[in-house]
Structure 1
Amino acid sequence: MSATARRELAEFLRSRRDQVDPRDSGLPPGGPRRTPGLRREEVALLSGVSSTWYTWLEQGRDIHPSRQVVDALARTLRMSPAEHGYVLRLTGHGGPAPADPGQEVPGHVQRLLDALGPSPAYALTADWSIAGWNRAYELFYPGVAAVPVAERNLLWLVFTHPAVRALLGDWDTDSRRFLTQFRAEVGPRLADPVVVDLVARLEAASPHFRAGWASHDVDRFSSAERRFEHPRVGTLLLEHHQLTPADAPGLQLVVYTAATGSESAERLLRLAGPAG
């Protein structure tokens, strides 16, 4: 574990510990508490480790928890599957992070995006830079091609670009969802210069991002219907999919589809028409 990963693990464990109600862990009331959540010694006891060892873990010391210990801490701290997976990756038990392919999208991946027709689709690199898209996405998010390459990052656009904020049907919920998923993905790479720079710029530019980042919340992606408010065709209800090409593991393909025969499907076709 790098020093950055140890610090992130320490802060993340403290943030989760503060959110656990002692009563949910079967602990007696034990009198008033100075802070909410579990005490360090309680986490250690419930997880089967020594109080000193767990304290060192929360201090970011250079120790290496086993998979068994990580699993025990996840149970004690009542972590969600996304949070559990995040800690596994931070501690080196969740597999290597995907390599960053840079800003180039392979030709066969671009052809796949183009073949999706009226379904807006784009490709993200490991740091969430938008590296490629199809015509439907350029019509869905007008102006993406005009955004400077240095700013063509999904998280940056969500938190700083008025047009993207207006496009998202529920910006408060959607922006929070993007942030927690981004943190879950980049956690083991928080020391990467590109990630450090992006987070620093976002913290300076957006109070909402700064507050969300400080929470240390993480979540994993799940396909679901999202609502968008498009300036030309109005409300669009689209299912959000995310795919990783087997031969380009550093890329994520994001695709928005509408149910066949739905009003949203008709609106996407109208958006893709000659007037688009």
Structure 2
Amino acid sequence: MLDARREDLGHMLRAWRMARDPALLPGTMPFRGHRSYLTQLDMALLLGVSERWYRALERGEDRRYAPEMIAGVARILDLSPRQTAALHRGTGHQPPQRGAAGVRPDAALLDLMHQQRRVSWICDQAWDVVAVNAVAARHCPWLAHPDANAMTWAFSAEAGYQLRDWDTRWAVPLLTELRLAWQRWPDNPRLEEVVRTVRRESGVAELWAGTAEVDDCPGDEARPMYFPLVAPDPIDVHLATYTRFDDTALRWFVLTPVDASITFP
């Protein structure tokens, strides 16, 4: 017999799904037709689970849903902080605790990001990706993943496919950014979690110990990245970071090719 509270949560989850426009999800345009809502199959495909497993969530069935799956549901459906907390608690998980909990880009910032014909995305203090434009979803599909975190991805084994000369051009600058942020926001538990995850990656402990004298990274330094839809060889890019005046909750990133003739299709 279904628990009444869990069943009610399932009803709310279905309503949230039906209200979500697939056109607002960068990188998901292979969805066919002109529907104005997401189906249960859409959700299952985006989450990497079976349709039956996702359907059980909306039915209110008491199963052991992974916290990553629940976080992915909240991200795909763009749930508010209160809705996200209800979904986590209703499935037996603690709601996410973040230093900038619930902070979202305003309409003006999102509009600027989506206007870019370059790879562009927005992160919070812990490098959790909160918004991406269509160009980023096409050329860096990992950014559009429901639980994408730019820093944990950058130090994962798969990052070497796109971040070329990783050991000499990317690792130390990124680690510098992470360490300085960790010191700057000591009360951000999500950032603490990201630091622990990164430090567990192969080779990072030695790199961390050997680069204690960190300094601010030059923002205009070009680094090679590989975009198979753009060029057969890696291209040098500038990674620029923008913030709103006196606002440390969100950061807007834009990747720009050094060669101005290179464009992202």
User: Normalising by the residue count of structure 2, what TM-score does the alignment of the two structures yield?
Assistant: 0.54
- The alignment yields a C-alpha RMSD, in angstroms, of 2.3
Aligned equivalents of 2:179, 2:155: Cα separation in 1: 15
1:158–1:194 Cα change, 3 Å: same
Gap change, CA 1:186 and 1:172, over 3 Å in 2: same
* Counterparts of residues 71-150 of structure 1 (less than 5 Å): 100=100, 102=102, 104-117=104-117, 119-145=118-144, 147-149=145-147
* Residues 144/192 of structure 1: CA separation in 2 closer, same or farther (3 Å cut): closer
CA distance in 2, matches of 1:101, 1:244: 17
Give the conservation status (yes or no) of the 8 Å contact 1:180–1:217: no
Give, in whole Å, the separation in 1 of the partners of 2:108 and 2:101.
14
Are 1:187 and 2:162 an aligned pair? no
Deviation at 1:208, TM superposition (A): 2.1
Percent pairwise identity:
19
1: CA distance, partners of 2:116 / 2:191 = 30
Q: CA–CA distance in 1 between the matches of 2:217 and 2:251?
A: 12
Normalised by the length of structure 1, the TM-score is 0.52
Task: State the shift of 1:134 in Å.
Answer: 1.2
Partner of 2:238: 239
Q: Of 136, 149, 154, which residue of structure 2 is paired with 1:153?
A: 149
Q: Deviations over 1:198-223 (max 9, x none)?
A: 2222223x132222333434231322
Contact 1:226–1:237 (CA under 8 A) maintained in structure 2: yes
Q: For each residue in 1:214-250, what CA deviation from the matched residue of structure 2 results, as whole angstroms up to 9, or x when unmatched? A: 3434231322222112233232222221111227442
Report the Cα offset of residue 266 of structure 1. 4.4
**Alpha-carbon spacing, 1:161–1:100, altered in 2? closer, same or farther (3 Å):** farther
Number of residue-to-residue matches in the alignment: 162
Structure 1: gaps spanning 5 or more residues: 1-98
Structure 2 counterparts to residues 1-276 of structure 1, below 5 A: 100=100, 102=102, 104-117=104-117, 119-145=118-144, 147-149=145-147, 152-162=148-158, 164-173=159-168, 174-190=170-186, 192-204=188-200, 206-215=201-210, 216-222=212-218, 223-232=220-229, 233-234=231-232, 235-246=234-245, 248-259=247-258, 262=259, 265-269=260-264, 272=265
* Structure 2: gaps spanning 5 or more residues: 1-98
- What is the CA–CA distance in structure 2 between the aligned matches of 1:102 and 1:221, rounded to whole Å? 29
Q: Following the alignment from structure 1 to structure 2, what is the Cα–Cα distance between the partners of residues 191 and 209? A: 23
Corresponding residue for 1:17?
none
More displaced 10-residue stretch of structure 1: 168-177 or 239-248: 239-248
What amino acid is the match of 2:221?
A
Structure 2 vs 1, CA of residues 137 and 200 (structure 1 numbering), >3 Å: closer, same or farther? same
Shift of 1:255: 1.0
Is this contact kept in 1: 2:178–2:195, CA < 8 A? no
